[in-house]
Structure 1
Amino acid sequence: MNTQILPGATLGMLGGGQLGRMFTTAAQTMGYKVVVLDPDPQSPAGIVADSHICAPYDDETALSEMAQLCAAITTEFENIPAQTLAFLESKTTVHPSSKALAATQNRNVEKQFIASQGIATAPFLPIQRREDIAEAETAIQFPAILKVATFGYDGKGQVPCNNLDDVYQAFDALDKKECVLEQRINLAREVSVVLARSETGSITNFPVAENVHVNGILHTTTVPSGISSDLSQKAIQMANKIAKGLGYVGTMAVEFFVSEEGAIIANEIAPRPHNSGHYTLDACHTSQFEQQVRMLCGLPSGDCDLESPVVMVNILGDVWRNSEPHWDKLLAAPNIKLHLYGKQAARVGRKMGHFNVLSADTETAMQQAEQTFTALQAE
């Protein structure tokens, strides 16, 4: 049986963004100390942590210091080098593993892994070099979308393509980096499953969430989702199979497409807490970040049941315009919970915070969410 890491111990977080910040807050609330390693001296997680090691992710001296301080270490995003986790694994407990992380860092590797589990993906073609593009005529149908294989997020590094010529142009525009060409599906909905898997292999699932993206960035998450209980169960089973196949330990998410024909198709794996799981901070007995702490420390899962219908709305830097948003209008509502991430500068497309609207039903919550989002925006 694995030894539990109990409050009073020190935990490590690789990455200083908002996900690291919310993990840090959850861990500190539970009585742990947190060391954050991030190269940004003003990182949102670093400024609230007990200790901030300001260093690059491949600095072995800094990593050795972190390993010496921490009983266990986790990460907040998938673009931490897998070799960094491998280095730390020889010195302390690390979840998720370097192997699990490596399987999710490259879209081609990720899709091939998902397919190896017998789970459907959109038809896709790996493109390593320009000569590979010709295969698209037989491998997929247009329209399609070309995505960089690594370091793409929130719609960055993605180009819609209606024909073969578009793919050549897009590949050149993306600096001829390794890409994946994905066939577009007749999309009815987008949903996600956030889960927590322990070292012993037990899995606890949060309710399936329904997501709406604007310009490639998540805008709203609604729970309960609008899909049937049968489809929800299928999505959960697929996500759990992926987690088991990865040997994953921690909190993770899988995003799915639901086609107009009723098929459910795996899109992406997030080996960490996920933006679409932020509703859990206020609408569930246990948040996704407390679950991350529990899984890292070998503790039993918390209760993931939904306490209230909820709509989560992302707050991007766009909302600031020329002045501070109208926080007074949001905070006047007793059923809305505001979470800001402590970022120093608001920029267009940058995630600055979110708010959760709790209500008796999702229709009422969405109506209030839309009204609040409009009222929030500065002149």
Structure 2
Amino acid sequence: MLKPGSTIGILGGGQLGRMLAIEGARLGYRCVGYAPEGDNVAAEVCADFFVARWDDTAALAAFAAQCDAITYEFENVPLSVFDTLPVEPVFPPRKALEVAQDRLAEKRFVEGLGGRPALHAAIDSRADLDDAVERIGTPGILKTRREGYDGKGQWRIASAHDAESVQLSGGPAIYEGFVDFGAEFSVILVRGQDGDVRFWESARNVHRDGILATSSLPAGEAIAGQVEETHALAKLVADALDYVGVLTLEFFATTNGPVFNEMAPRVHNSGHWTIEGAVTSQFANHMRAVAGLPLGDTATVAETVTMTNLIGKDSASAQTLLGEPDTHLHLYGKKQARAGRKMGHVTRLTRRTGSGQS
């Protein structure tokens, strides 16, 4: 258990790191960040921040020298960083990144635990793609196996003709058949160092142009009926990885049961509603887990919750939303609004009768 005044390092400088650092400070910890050059909005709320390349071993050593524990805010931190960091512990564990950084490895890992992903195939050549399209069928989606998020690194294939026109980049890819689903949802859990696992209520997610637009509660009957099965699978994943921190698994709700989409070994955009909508937010519980503290209650405190991402210029007039009842605005401090960029989010609550107004 980290004593108050200890330092927690955060790899990555985006909005997730920013919100983690805020919660770390509330728990009495000093947070130090590390990320390559960029719009590192987490730096504004960290006690210290290192701007250096991922392969700068001297900078990594200086960063680690300040840290009593280290975590990360996104899953594309190069694994080589963990080979050079001269400090333990790092939470979540390296194994979680190894699995999550490769979409094919991720699907095979979850399949091995009894999960059911979409039909898929590894793509390393034009012949592989042609065979996958013939075997799995269309429509489908071609994705890079590594990196890519918010719709980046993905190409929809509506027909065999579309597949012929795709220019393969030369890197490993994966082809997935489309899933006929009624809704999308996330399972978000936190696992402590003692193995204690707690779940937040699953929200219904709506995406636009490959980017999460809204997460809302209650999620509806189609999702509610599949939560028990997905919770069981998510716990198997967390236990198999000896996981510590917040873990997110995304699913499609179908008439034949839940279909696994992908996992994220970190706090997640679809869990932002927990800041105001749950007793303990995903950010607070992640930092509790990293510090070895008891986990907090994850119960929902409102009758309804809707989290809406503010993307691009949507954030320009966001402050006017504060005039609405029980509405909570989070702007991430990013300097330039551009299409597809998450600039902030707003959460609207309907309180349970007698619970009062925040």
Q: Distance in 2 between matches of 1:41 and 1:32?
A: 25
Conserved? CA contact 2:247–2:264, under 8 Å: yes
SS at match of 1:190: strand
**Could you tell me which of 229, 233, 238 is aligned with 1:238?**
233
Structure 2: distance between partners of 1:16 and 1:326 = 23
Aligned-residue CA RMSD (Å): 1.6
For residues 258 and 145 of structure 2, what CA distance do their matches in structure 1 show? Answer: 22
Please, which runs of 5 or more residues in structure 2 have no aligned partner?
A: 353-358
Letter in 1 for 2:210: G
- Residue in 2 that maps onto 1:327: 319
Mapped partners of 1:158, 1:96: distance in 2: 27
Q: Percent identity?
A: 38
Aligned to 1:373: none
What is residue 203 of structure 1 aligned with on the other side?
197
Please list every run of at least 4 consecutive aligned residues from structure 1 whose deviation after the TM superposition is greater than 4 angstroms: none
8 Å Cα contact 2:34/2:50 also seen in 1? yes
Q: Which residue of 1 aligns with 2:267?
A: 273
Query: CA distance change for structure 1 residues 225 and 265 in 2, over 3 Å: closer, same or farther?
Result: same
Map 1:338-377 → 2, pairs under 5 A: 338-360=329-351
Q: Deviations over 1:45-65 (max 9, x none)?
A: 012100011111221111111
Segments of 5+ residues of structure 1 without an aligned counterpart are: 362-379
- Give the distance between the partners of 1:283 and 1:111, measured in 2 at CA: 31
Q: Map 1:71-82; keep pairs closer than 5 Å.
A: 71-82=68-79
How far residue 354 of structure 1 moved from its aligned partner, in angstroms, is 0.1
Question: After superposition, where does 1:82-121 map in structure 2 within 5 Å?
Answer: 82-88=79-85, 90-121=86-117
The one of 297, 305, 308 equivalent to 2:291 is 297
Larger displacement relative to structure 2 (33-42 or 217-226) = 33-42
Q: Which is further off, 20-29 or 239-248?
A: 239-248
Counterpart of 1:368 in structure 2 is none
Deviation at 1:199, TM superposition (A): 2.2
Rounded to whole Å, the distance in 2 between the matches of 1:206 and 1:276 is 11
1:82–1:99 contact (8 Å) kept in structure 2: no
Question: Could you tell me the TM-score, scaled by structure 1's length?
Answer: 0.89
C-alpha separation between the residues in 2 aligned to 1:91 and 1:326?
A: 41
Letter in 2 for 1:134: D
221-230 or 93-102, which deviates more: 221-230
Match of residue 159 from structure 1: 155
Question: Could you tell me which residue of structure 2 aligns to residue 30 of structure 1?
Answer: 27
- Corresponding pairs, count: 350
Following superposition, the deviation at residue 7 of structure 1 comes to 1.7
Q: Are residue 183 (structure 1) and residue 177 (structure 2) matched?
A: yes
Which whole-Å CA distance do the structure 1 matches of 2:318 and 2:216 have between them? 23
Query: Could you tell me whether the CA contact under 8 Å between 1:125 and 1:139 is conserved in 2?
Result: no
- Structure 2 CA distance, aligned partners of 1:55 and 1:84? 12
TM-score normalized by the length of structure 2: 0.94
One-letter amino acid of the counterpart of residue 124, structure 1: H
Amino acid at match of 2:64: A
Contact (CA 8 Å) 1:316, 1:350: kept in 2 or not? yes
Measured in 2, the distance between the counterparts of 1:200 and 1:61 equals 33
Partner of 1:40: 37
Q: Secondary structure at the match of 2:118?
A: coil
Moved more, 311-320 or 275-284: 311-320
Q: Is the 8 A contact 1:291 1:302 kept in 2?
A: yes
Give the match for residue 124 of structure 1.
120
- Matching residue of 1:284: 278
